[in-house]
Structure 1
Amino acid sequence: MRIGFIRHGSTSWNKEKRAQGSSDIHLDDEGRLHATKLAERLNEEKWDVIFSSGLARAYQTATIIADSLDLEVIIDNRLREAGGGQIEGTTEVERINKWGPNWRELDLGIEKADLVVARAQEAIEEFHQSYEDKNILIVSHGSFLHHFFKSALPELDHEKHLVNTSLTILNKQQDEWTHEIYNSTSHLNRS
């Protein structure tokens, strides 16, 4: 199974460095432009199906890509972003002002990584069973993808931020994941 994982295009909250979580934020103009550039890149290969989180920023990204590839977007809410709890809509400065510099150590209702990974694995296993030997695209979110990649490919450096509209292509054979490309944004350099 070959899967292209895509982080959604940029939003105004990305630029303001606000935690989005399950807040339903739309793409900004740059996000739509970058999704179009990614769609052009993906047109160079064969993709059979595209799944997306139901949150607007992911769904809009997926729709731009699907229209270019002549595919239909299948929404799967297991692909939604990790819930941000009380930090949704806040910046780092606002979090420090409200909860102090150790806010990450507090229980603020943020969805735990193991729960995110469990729903990611469940969805991907189901896709594998339904679309074996197909090339699948998944449009999701930064924290969701970060948690999944960390579990599937622990040998990679997971400190680097996943860029908006980045493409990561993984292959699965038996229970082993390998990566072709990771966090690639070469399409953003195209004119």
Structure 2
Amino acid sequence: MSAVTNIFLVRHGQTEWNKEHRLQGHKNSPLTKEGQEQAIKARQALKDYEIHKAYVSPLQRAQDTLALIIDQQDIDVVISNNLKEINLGPWEGKTKTETLLSDPQQYHYFWQEQDKFNLAGAETYQQLQERVVSELQAIFSKEKGKNILIVSHWIAIKAAVAYYKSTPLNDLSSLPDPKNGEYIILSDPNNSEQI
């Protein structure tokens, strides 16, 4: 086993709501055919790594992606609520246009000044980042020297990467968005590498 701990952070495959530009948050939408293919491509991309354990969000799109990635492999899986997507409360299931019309100020904050986003009934970016990073830190501590697969979500992953890159939340837009079915490696945990 390597002395380095690697976390492979995978964003779930494309969903129906991704295609419709609907915000998902904690609500579920099934993987599209393309989303299933993205998960299979992730499996192929990761095949040269020995994965020792997997952690996954309880949301169905993440669970379905993980099942396609690990296929028939005998890998222990831990379901973690801390790996869920940001809770968007009243915006969940709504299109970008609908959220813009419902609250233009919060819409602007959500996409451009994330440190100021504070929609009633939703989670802030700070709250999201704290719970995801606390989970990742616990995994780094518990799973020393292992390769760990994590299937999570767009904003959850981006907020975590911002923490490890020391990028403030008000500059989150400067980081690339994780694509469906693609992964980012976090190692040890102070450097991250986009694949």
Give yes or no for TM over 0.5.
yes
Q: CA 1:158–1:177 in 2, change beyond 3 Å: closer, same or farther?
A: farther
CA distance in 2, matches of 1:14, 1:86: 17
More displaced, 156-165 or 11-20? 156-165
- Indicate whether 1:111 and 2:123 are aligned: yes
State the superposition RMSD in angstroms: 1.9
Alignment of 1:9-158 (within 5 A): 9-67=13-71, 69-99=73-103, 101-104=104-107, 107-154=119-166, 158=174
Where structure 1 has 5 or more consecutive residues not aligned to the other structure, the ranges are 185-191
Give the C-alpha shift of residue 159 in structure 1: 3.8
Q: CA 1:12–1:64 in 2, change beyond 3 Å: closer, same or farther?
A: same
In structure 1, give the amino acid aligned to 2:162.
K
Q: Secondary structure at the match of 2:186?
A: strand
CA distance in 2, matches of 1:64, 1:72: 15
Give the C-alpha shift of residue 68 in structure 1: 5.0
1:17-53 CA-to-partner distances (Å, cap 9, x unmatched) read 1100000222111111110111011111111111100
CA distance in 2, matches of 1:56, 1:25: 8
CA distance in 2, matches of 1:117, 1:95: 22
The answer (yes or no) to whether the contact 2:15–2:35 under 8 Å persists in 1 is yes
The answer (yes or no) to whether the contact 2:158–2:175 under 8 Å persists in 1 is no
The answer (yes or no) to whether the contact 1:2–1:134 under 8 Å persists in 2 is yes
The answer (yes or no) to whether the contact 1:66–1:73 under 8 Å persists in 2 is no
CA distance in 1, matches of 2:182, 2:174: 14
Q: CA 1:133–1:157 in 2, change beyond 3 Å: closer, same or farther?
A: farther
CA distance in 2, matches of 1:68, 1:34: 17
Aligned length: 178
The answer (yes or no) to whether the contact 1:49–1:136 under 8 Å persists in 2 is yes
TM-score normalised over the length of structure 2: 0.83
Give the C-alpha shift of residue 157 in structure 1: 7.2
% same residue: 29
CA distance in 1, matches of 2:36, 2:76: 18
